[in-house]
Structure 1
């Protein structure tokens, strides 16, 4: 609506041939251009979302493997899937061999999932081991990936309090504009002699120009522009810090956030699995003895390492190794001489892998010890095959280690007397059954590398009053251990903080209630959650928002996309899935969580500075409304041309506001900026209106006194009487006294009063002052002198210096108006001290 009104006013100026008065339209034009570019970029980015790589796929056509484009796949095509392939469509497995897929981008589960015949496979998952044939059951828009993409592509804008406040003000102004335009036009027509005069002599230009000047002054178009520029400058600054802002108001949202939901992997940890320690299992008691940690020295490379080290070296070197096995590579490098004759790939379904070694080709102290079958698996998968007297002890130790957040594995070997314990190792093969008896050798523990900056970053957020939630798909024990590593004990439930042992911080999301009210209670009580499904992530975010929290969430997988979209602010890591980054408002390009404090600082600067500018712009709107309304009701000609009003705005609002918007401002976000701005702006606008009415009243009295109608200041209220042409006053004054107060001189006096009071308004809004702000004020005061005194500016603005009495009156009234503004400022600050002390200016 504002842009429409400004556009119509600009069109009117053009039709009247007053090109020099188009200065007011620049702010609106800039705002439109920036807004269009921003929205076009956002929608274009969403149009480029693609969950699937566009590589060709292999299908069986007429019994022959055939390579086709992804878009050429149709229902019932049989797709050949191998290790490393991305599943191109939804389908059903019709044959498989050691086939496992990584569903982490879809479900959030990090472990591979075994797929057998008749099992469903979803698009956007990837093959991590084995081969399979899959019959397509869903392709194109019907596939799982397409449905996720469709939801992600729904374009929504950030809920910005600043933008919402501006829209509310815009609504109020819009409602009042139509009647006010009519009143203003009527008043300005009457000011030049009435409709008969205007229509009879074709002199509509003057009232139209006055109406346009008044209407354009009312609209706070510069506030919208400065808000947009503030967001853009913050986004540009953050880009240099490896933070991409995908929708500019997102900077504001982080400053308003009171709850941040974090994923463990990639946020608190660097991702990946690290070898922690190897413990020898005592064959008689089951107790553990530390054999190896990452910091202990390895066996002398010239000596033959123990058998268990050679076996672990083989497991780590396996080309099909899962992330846990890969963590062994750096620490165990010397493989045995005897050949690897049998191998069972690790599968999440059975949770163990096996390696069979044949007869050694060369001798060695530990050569014979390696021969046979070795099994590496989760304790619960192997425990039933261990010695019944040792199993409970080993299980107790592994449970204790897991409670500390470590992933535990047991390395065992086939007992020499076990069934099938022959050279051929019959337990290897399609059935992959465990031997009926295993001898436990080691307990291996694995952990995650906690980010060095995680604790410091989290402490920063706590110090700023932001509560933190970890929402992870991993084991609650693992999540709790990482949380403790970064100092999360302070966020444990109250009932657990008094325990002498380390608290079990994490809530198992498998026990979350379905009832939304109960869920909200759990979210308030706990800060760490494990085994959270993608649907639960979304519900948890929505529960927090329903409780009145402003929520930010970090994520990287496709499974996080809808939860990120549900949050007030979605933050994606740089290595996130394309759809996840596309629905996020912000991307940490280098995936470093410690970038967020700088984003918070930028957001606070934007909010605090825009609120400061809102005081300024809304005060301008308030005085413009009162000024235009009073002059129209009194049938006084509006005493400013559009170009003059635009220059006054530039001096105490436009240029200064741009500079103020760039200054640091550490004040925390406090809700209710619009209410605070209006409490200050309306009385400030009233003071400026009184000053402007006063100088115009003095000017009219001055002109009348010289016209012989009224002694100067004898009865100034008589100047409010019946309208008469200003030109008539001027002619009479020239005739009677040989001196005149022309309309140009009154406009100059009005400009001086308006700008001086406006600059004092800028002064009080800029407090506390520093040398930079004092410099800005000094430049603006000097600018006023130049605008009024320089010949070119006088020609452009049609300024003529008024007589000395009027010049002194304009300055004196401006001083009185400044004192009034000072009083308004002090009363407003006293109210803030009483009701919202946290909203007092901080810089």
Structure 2
């Protein structure tokens, strides 16, 4: 099996062995044989489900570090006999239950939509070509592949030649040529040509199933929200154990009972834990996936919703995105001295020769051939279309060859003829040159000097919804770039018709022969024509280097490289398997008009999560500050039952309500900076108020119950003020939320005061409470106004801090990428490496 990964440089060592089977005749397996093989477990069952199982979801939501900490704290409280102080476990249980419910709902929606988004696999059975799902392919099946198809199982080529892209497996984007007896690895995809391959390893035995995620060159998820949540979780984890331990010992040896010391320590520690924040985030994003699934939008990576909401440049592939992709032959323009019938015959001959690998253009010509009952000429060799060469062709039995493609690549010296044809056909028509050539070399490049026979004009209609969709992005301040392999003037005319701003600023990508020219064009131009797949990727990278968040839409194999590099990639379900495999969002019904809804859903999620995260982080910060202070002046002023009341009224309930509200405002600034700008002022104000209460305890002769009562009221007052501030602009629901939570707090400290262990205050102490609460609120509002301004200021402390955290995250991510690259290099050396490639480039 030395040739099992023939032509696959960078593949992990130890490729799987082929499974033995009886040789399949050219007619393929019969249906009875396929059913028997399926019953024997030799079908291509997907061993790696797209989403987590229900059991995994339950486990991941229940078996968490913070749940374990809370259970441990609940046991400690139980041992003290103060059972009501275990009420904080209700929040823990509710958070877990809500998280499980939302993720299961999201899983079901994604699984159902994934089935709709999949394209069937063509197999030959009993002499007939039938379509089966990828999981229906069995060992020994004859699978028919053409350009854009993804290999569903490990295949051995029986007939035909193809050019493969194995970048999803090896990380290398260089094309690999495969012919008879070569092996096609599952997970790779066809970029040119067509073939019949026999399934030699299916299901768990296939190559893709045996390599792990680290071996794949998968695009890492770039998520500021996830980085921020990890930072908050680490902050609480680092501080929780040492501060809690020291606080308990200090309170116990200060003369209090172990029960009192345990209760105050539990209150401090539970305050440091951002209960529900991670689950709230998962729930909000899960709800977003369900909402988008109802609009036939498949979200394949949860956090990509955030990236799309932050996008400020959208790169569009013309065909299938702006246009419908349903092309028709409009006009034939023969050269002087060439008969129209000869031009049609040559055109039809080339397209019919590559019918098994037909793209949208070829299908338009084939439909024209069928409509006019035209017969192609006899050929000896077909040359499939390549997005790099920009033409397809064939060799004739009578000698010589024909080529059809871009005039700039076939006859660059006939600009005069192209200009005349453009005037005759119209600006929006796409022109293909039909040429006679001497022949083709082994790399499918023409030999000799092509002779122009004429042009064929093919039109593609702009989608009815495209102008309104593009107008939305224009209103939202999102820059648009139209990138296509077609003639730039044609692309510019279509873009202008669709409403792309500054569509007259176009460039022919064949002139972008240096990195500097490409970077300048990415900044200054809006329409790009004659773009190769590598240039599409380079344009995305150039825009990202300018500081833009880039989204890319596409539907073909020529878009895959750019889709992988974009911050958020969107594919059409009707496009190639390869494009759907690398995209984070798939439009199941191929309707680009869903994009505004996707962006709006992302904005709702991020803006609302920023507000909710500020409420959670407020409690974490002030709990750490006050717990540290109480190590010096014990005990901690709050009880678990009182903190439960505050957490529910000013954090838990408001965060869930605000997180699910409609919010289509543009996402501004850094997530972490915005969260800190709202949370820190409230945390500092509460810390100051509680510090005053702690230090005034002995001078004023307050009991522990009176101290905790005043501390509860001060904390709730500032918390409610923060709820009101993050709820702006106020609407009826947000006003109702604020007054309802105020009523909950008032009832909790009055009517249900005994349950929450709230003591009755004398008038002097009530006045002291009003004074401390007023001071804390005054400090909060003063800090809040300054803090929000600093969050938007490039030199502001919050933004500087957020950038430092993001830089550290970026550096760690780059180190992980370097390790993956090193791992691939080591695997290359172990498996022979690229240096051992065959002379023919395989």
Q: TM-score, normalised by structure 2?
A: 0.65
Query: CA–CA distance in 1 between the matches of 2:351 and 2:746?
Result: 79
Matches within 5 A, 1:748-827: 748-790=709-751, 793-827=752-786
Which residue in the other structure is 2:568 paired with?
A: 569
Query: CA–CA distance in 2 between the matches of 1:811 and 1:783?
Result: 19
Which residue in the other structure is 2:314 paired with?
A: 260
Any conservation in 2 of the 1:152–1:565 contact (CA below 8 Å)? no
- SS of 1:221 mapped into structure 2: coil
C-alpha displacement of 1:610: 2.4
Query: CA–CA distance in 2 between the matches of 1:228 and 1:283?
Result: 68
C-alpha displacement of 1:15: 4.9
Which residue in the other structure is 1:597 paired with?
A: 596
C-alpha displacement of 1:82: 10
Which residue in the other structure is 1:688 paired with?
A: 686
Write out per-residue CA displacement over residues 43-88 of structure 1, whole angstroms, 9 at most, x where no aligned residue: x9899999983846799xxxxxxxxx966459xxxx7979999987
Write out per-residue CA displacement over residues 433-467 of structure 1, whole angstroms, 9 at most, x where no aligned residue: xxxxx998x96421112222323333432343333
Matches within 5 A, 1:454-493: 454-476=466-488, 478-488=490-500, 490=502
C-alpha displacement of 1:820: 2.5
Any conservation in 1 of the 2:166–2:189 contact (CA below 8 Å)? yes
Query: CA–CA distance in 1 between the matches of 2:163 and 2:713?
Result: 72
Which residue in the other structure is 2:630 paired with?
A: 631
Larger radius of gyration: 1
C-alpha displacement of 1:216: 1.0
Write out per-residue CA displacement over residues 296-354 of structure 1, whole angstroms, 9 at most, x where no aligned residue: xxxxxxxxxx9999999999999969655754798899868xx9797769955696799
Which residue in the other structure is 2:73 paired with?
A: 9
Any conservation in 2 of the 1:57–1:70 contact (CA below 8 Å)? no
The reply on whether 1:231 has 2:285 as its aligned counterpart is yes
Query: CA–CA distance in 2 between the matches of 1:252 and 1:770?
Result: 25
Write out per-residue CA displacement over residues 381-428 of structure 1, whole angstroms, 9 at most, x where no aligned residue: 9xx9xxxxxx99866533656894534468999xxxxxxxxxxxxxxx
Matches within 5 A, 1:8-27: 8-16=72-80, 18-25=82-89
Which residue in the other structure is 1:184 paired with?
A: 247
Which residue in the other structure is 2:121 paired with?
A: 53
CA pair 144-206 structure 1, distance change in 2 beyond 3 A: closer
Query: CA–CA distance in 1 between the matches of 2:452 and 2:559?
Result: 42
Write out per-residue CA displacement over residues 440-496 of structure 1, whole angstroms, 9 at most, x where no aligned residue: 8x964211122223233334323433333334444555544433433446166xxxx
CA pair 164-784 structure 1, distance change in 2 beyond 3 A: same
CA pair 806-463 structure 1, distance change in 2 beyond 3 A: same
Query: CA–CA distance in 2 between the matches of 1:760 and 1:20?
Result: 27
Match for residue 673 of structure 2 among 654, 672, 675: 675
The reply on whether 1:271 has 2:332 as its aligned counterpart is no
Any conservation in 2 of the 1:537–1:563 contact (CA below 8 Å)? yes
Gaps (5+ residues) in structure 2?
A: 1-64, 128-135, 169-174, 385-390, 437-450, 800-842
Any conservation in 2 of the 1:245–1:585 contact (CA below 8 Å)? yes
C-alpha displacement of 1:758: 1.8
Query: CA–CA distance in 1 between the matches of 2:727 and 2:377?
Result: 78
C-alpha displacement of 1:133: 7.9
Write out per-residue CA displacement over residues 757-814 of structure 1, whole angstroms, 9 at most, x where no aligned residue: 3212222332333332221111111111222333xx4454233433344344334432
C-alpha displacement of 1:677: 3.5
Any conservation in 2 of the 1:476–1:531 contact (CA below 8 Å)? yes
Any conservation in 2 of the 1:73–1:139 contact (CA below 8 Å)? no
C-alpha displacement of 1:650: 1.1
Q: Aligned residues, how many? A: 682
Query: CA–CA distance in 2 between the matches of 1:83 and 1:628?
Result: 66
C-alpha displacement of 1:137: 11
Which residue in the other structure is 1:199 paired with?
A: none
CA pair 410-553 structure 1, distance change in 2 beyond 3 A: closer
Gaps (5+ residues) in structure 1?
A: 60-68, 108-112, 194-202, 289-305, 356-374, 385-390, 414-437, 498-503, 705-725, 727-742
User: What's the RMSD between the two structures over aligned residues?
Assistant: 5.6
Write out per-residue CA displacement over residues 491-519 of structure 1, whole angstroms, 9 at most, x where no aligned residue: 66xxxx5xxxxxx534138x544x6x775
Which residue in the other structure is 2:3 paired with?
A: none
Any conservation in 2 of the 1:106–1:559 contact (CA below 8 Å)? no
Deviates more, 1:774-783 or 1:260-269: 260-269
Q: TM-score, normalised by structure 1?
A: 0.65
Any conservation in 1 of the 2:394–2:403 contact (CA below 8 Å)? yes
Any conservation in 1 of the 2:140–2:198 contact (CA below 8 Å)? no
CA pair 525-409 structure 1, distance change in 2 beyond 3 A: closer
Match for residue 509 of structure 2 among 479, 484, 507: 507
Which residue in the other structure is 1:397 paired with?
A: 420
Any conservation in 2 of the 1:89–1:140 contact (CA below 8 Å)? no
Query: CA–CA distance in 2 between the matches of 1:251 and 1:351?
Result: 39
Query: CA–CA distance in 2 between the matches of 1:552 and 1:543?
Result: 13
Write out per-residue CA displacement over residues 75-123 of structure 1, whole angstroms, 9 at most, x where no aligned residue: xxxx7979999987666677xxxx797989999xxxxx9x999898967
